[in-house]
A and B are shown apart, each in its own frame.
Chain A
Amino acid sequence: MTVANFSSQISECAPSAQIETPDFSKTGHHLTVTVNRDQIAALTQKFFDEQFFLESLSGVDLIENFQVTYHFNRFKKTERVMVRVQVTKEDPVVPTVSHIFPSANWFEREAAEFYGMKFKDHPNPVRLILPEFSTYHPLVKGYKDEGDSAKEVQDLIELEEAIQKLISPTVGQLQTKDYFVNMGPQHPSTHGLLRLLLHMKGERILGVDPVLGYAHRADEKMAEIGNYLQFWPNTGRIDYLCAMLYNWGWANVVEKSMGIEVPERAQHIRLIVSELNRIASHLLWLGTFLLDLGAFTPFLYTFADREKIVDLLEMASGERITFVYFTFGGVLYDVDEQFVIQTRAFIKEMRDHLKDYHKLLTKNVILLKRTKDVGIISKEVARLYGATGPVARASGVDYDIRKAEPLSIYTQFEFDVPLGENGDCYDRYTVRMEEMEQSLRLVEQALDKLPEGAFQCKPAPKRIKPEAGEYYQAIEGGRGEFGIYLVSDGKDKPYRVKLRTPCFSNLSLLSEVSKGLTMPDMVAILGSLDLVIPDIDR
């Protein structure tokens, strides 16, 4: 069944639905549906039964009203449906859908805290990203922080001290019952600022409650404050390990909406640098994952290899990690002959090194014991929580956006999508190892076909002003689907930018998979999820 003839079924379960079929190549939506809020749960149930997953859920402030936007999509081949629900500001209550898709739980908490909406019957309606006891709703239009940041920090410090005093009497008391362990936000194996509250019984984990927001830098608010060009630096800093790919997402959503043509050479360069960046990101993951498992040496090896990629990318862009190399209609600088020669040399070298890694690791008994059958994510759990990228593919979900919804020139090249079977940590390891090889293959083909010509479109677009409308663009980031939902009102500033980031959804399934495991296994799972914390908190 295709989405096109899905509309009759939608009207059946939601009689109030107004259905439109926009141009997919421009907006990134196959269907858009507007429904009344009392029918959203029934409609979501319908999508659930039809094997969709909840891609993203975002709030929008429309001055008079609030809008909640749901994106549903299917694995394998993209079929994206956008559902809008509008509520008045006086009565901003929407029924929750988190009992249908557990992934909605976090999305709804996020929308609630940033806009002050309420989700009726939500199981845990507390703040997720902003400080726990804050009361502001920063994404409401016109919000400005008038407060004194130093004072607020002082308040938080006092609060923290008060909390410490409260809990300290129980510390040191021997208990044989279950207890809570705090992990993070400064902990070497949470890879940054993630905090986990672990509910333990003896050695076993009963539940995990991640506390987010320690890396929140308000990227979405900043998108609304500057113009389209001014958002470039942020795109390189959300998931800084694959900045090129996120650059590409932002470039594409605007180019698509304005119909800017990108020259062939620029597209090839984009693919080359992006895939190199993906390898660099996976190499860093490999080093730190093994570091978490207790092996220090591979870290030094992978960083040596990563430095070579960083050099190549620096040659092209002038930066080492937080790239802002793309521009609307092309890339900022052309690459030269030397870049091509050195990249070829690197591919050859890297292939040898990958063989070494396999020899050292893939059959290594310690690695096998630590990762085999640990943290199994089933296909269904991946769908329920909207997991994407290597995490979902290790569970056998055949969803790679480079195949499902290819960006520009991916269709011209040959590459495979490696899939796992069990969905355990070991499969996530093998899938990423295989992906590096596939990326090398892509880079090699693109270098062979690299055409002469312009690296930017001519004339360069003067004013970046997409027409009013809603656009969605997904790209395959290093960790999964990075989606940008852009609402434009036809002015030179974005009206709303929602960043659907892979780590956010991938992390939300943690408590589901870690039940009954021990603490060291938990660390292995965290490592295998490959989290970048600012990508979660934005």
Chain B
Amino acid sequence: MALSGKLDVLFTKIEDLLNMARANSLWPMTFGLHCCAIEMMSSAASRFDLDRFGAGVFRPSPRQCDVMIVAGTVSRKMAPKIKMLWDQMPAPKYCIALGGCASAGGPFVYPGQYAIVEGVDKIVPVDIYIPGCPPRPEALVNGILMLQDKIRNKNKAPIKLPEEPAKGKGA
């Protein structure tokens, strides 16, 4: 960087501080596509309570959000709208692909299929992929925590995976 050493340090610190704030107050978009959306709702509701992690303020307007949780299959008709929603979100913004469908097409992939886009990463950049069909709410919570980790350590090495993978039958 062309800046002096002193400024550099200061700059990084503010960025870190901001990232910490960002990580701890993620505002996801109210945006359910399919079955996975129900698990997203369950995560936000009484039992799993995403608010504990600062990510419970679901906003219906993309202008007020900073994380898009793509919860379900992306149909070809819907794909342009998702792109549009993503473009409307102010940066910095993050995307979570929730479930098999959003990650890679899930159970709806077969040779010659005409209806879906096989993975939302074909149209928007994805930060975190959560496997499962549908992923359990715990898995979404885990994904949110990983995203927070990623935001905090923006310029550092790849994020550390939790030592033990999340347990659960449905995942």
Q: What residues make up the interface of A, taking CB atoms closer than 8 Å to B?
A: 130-131, 136, 138, 143-147, 149-150, 152-153, 156-157, 159-160, 185-188, 191-193, 213-218, 221-222, 225-226, 233-234, 237, 240-241, 284, 287, 299-301, 303-304, 306-307, 310, 314, 318-322, 534, 537
Contacts and interface: CB of A to CB of B under 8 A. Distances in A.
A319 B117 contact: no
Given A240-B38, A319-B170, A320-B136, A144 B111 contact: yes
A340 to B, nearest CB: 20
A222 B108 CA distance: 8
Contacts of A318: 169-170
Given A186-B85, A303-B42, A304-B46, 15 more contacts: A131-B76, A149-B118, A160-B84, A192-B34, A214-B78, A215-B78, A217-B73, A222-B108, A234-B107, A241-B38, A299-B45, A303-B41, A320-B170, A321-B134, A322-B35
30 contacts: A138-B115, A143-B114, A144-B112, A145-B113, A149-B76, A149-B116, A153-B80, A153-B122, A156-B76, A186-B29, A186-B81, A192-B32, A192-B37, A193-B75, A215-B75, A217-B73, A217-B116, A222-B110, A234-B107, A237-B107, A284-B38, A303-B46, A304-B45, A307-B45, A307-B47, A318-B170, A320-B134, A321-B134, A322-B133, A534-B34
A222 B42 CA distance: 29
Nearest to B73: A217
B78 A185 contact: yes
Interface of B: 29-35, 37-39, 41-42, 45-47, 60, 62, 73, 75-81, 83-85, 107-108, 110-118, 122-123, 133-134, 136, 169-170
A301 B80 CA distance: 36
Contacts, number: 141
A213 B77 contact: yes
A187 B37 contact: no
Contacts of A304: 45-47
Contacts of B32: 191-192
Contacts of A226: 110
A156 B79 contact: yes
Contacts of A240: 34-35, 38
A156 B35 contact: no
A321 B62 CA distance: 28
A115 B112 CA distance: 17
B33 A192 contact: yes
B38 A149 contact: no
A395 B85 CA distance: 39
B113 A218 contact: yes
A319 B169 CA distance: 7
Given A153-B123, A186-B31, A218-B108, A145 B114 contact: yes
A537 B46 CA distance: 30
Contact of A321 (B39, B73, B116): B39
A7 to B, nearest CB: 41
Contact of A153 (B42, B46, B76, B134): B76
A130 B76 CA distance: 9
Contacts of A156: 76-77, 79-80
A216 B38 contact: no
B168 to A, nearest CB: 9
Contacts of B38: 240-241, 284, 321
Contacts of B123: 153
Given A138-B114, A185-B81, A152 B33 contact: no
Contact of A314 (B33, B75, B169): B169
Interface-central residue, B78, B116, B136, by most chain A CB under 10 Å: B78
A319 B168 CA distance: 10
Contacts of B46: 300-301, 303-304, 307
A400 to B, nearest CB: 25
Interface-central residue, B29, B110, B114, by most chain A CB under 10 Å: B114
A318 B170 CA distance: 6
B132 to A, nearest CB: 10
Contacts of A299: 45
A131 B81 CA distance: 12
B117 A153 contact: yes
Nearest to B29: A186
A192 B73 CA distance: 12
A338 to B, nearest CB: 16
A146 B114 CA distance: 9
Nearest to A146: B112
Contacts of A314: 169-170
A65 B78 CA distance: 33
Given A144-B111, A322-B133, A307 B42 contact: yes
